[in-house]
A and B are shown apart, each in its own frame.
Chain A
Amino acid sequence: DAGITQSPRHKVTETGTPVTLRCHQTENHRYMYWYRQDPGHGLRLIHYSYGVKDTDKGEVSDGYSVSRSKTEDFLLTLESATSSQTSVYFCAISETLSEQYFGPGTRLTVT
């Protein structure tokens, strides 16, 4: 497996609180992605990055922001968590725009 870690792996938080998820890679890949996975929806892209400080929105970006200040770290922030953001979040990396390598995932529950 590619060197990708996500933290935390599990989190329970209350509605209205901010939450930050971290993705860390040791592969020096250029592209990094945040997806959410929900039953019946597959994987949906939230935001992605094509370089340090270069980010763009995916199909489900409302309520989420991202930052990438270093090649190895890509942060996903839920500005004010809602129950609809309860999901499993996956980070992925890619160097060549071909295959993506996924992290182990973060299970987030918003109560």
Chain B
Amino acid sequence: GQQVMQIPQYQHVQEGEDFTTYCNSSTTLSNIQWYKQRPGGHPVFLIQLVKSGEVKKQKRLTFQFGEAKKNSSLHITATQTTDVGTYFCAGHQGAQKLVFGQGTRLTINP
């Protein structure tokens, strides 16, 4: 079945540094979604990318969808302590099922 791999598994940065997590699928994705989970919380939807090569920005967060629609990335510029959490990518397997990556846990030294 479809696999979605996410790297790195952990990332520790100094506040103010940039952060990037990468997502790779074994198959072409119809779309890619990104979620954030704060420590002790539940996943919260951030964004969905649909088009090949699509780039979307949310303030300091930049999301990219690869040209082949098999990879994606999330980049955070100038991290803040509020960015702490685990970031998940997810791609659709068939119309109704999402397959999640393992997540990248971001910790920040203030």
Which stretch from B14-22, B54-62, B74-82, B91-99 is at the chain A interface?
A: B91-99
Map CB proximity to B onto A95-110 as digits: 1 under 8 Å, 0 otherwise. 0011111111100000
Contacts of A48 in B (CB 8 A): 96-97
**Number of cross-chain contacts by CB at 8 Å:** 51
**Chain A nearest Cβ from B81, distance in angstroms:** 22
Interface residues on chain A, number (Cβ under 8 Å): 25
Interface residues on chain B, number (Cβ under 8 Å): 23
A43-B43, A90-B43 given as contacts; is B96 within 8 A of A98 (CB)? no
**Contact at A103–B102, with CB atoms within 8 Å?**
no
**A contact residues vs B (CB 8 Å cutoff):** 31, 33, 35, 40-45, 48, 50, 56, 58-59, 90, 92, 97-105
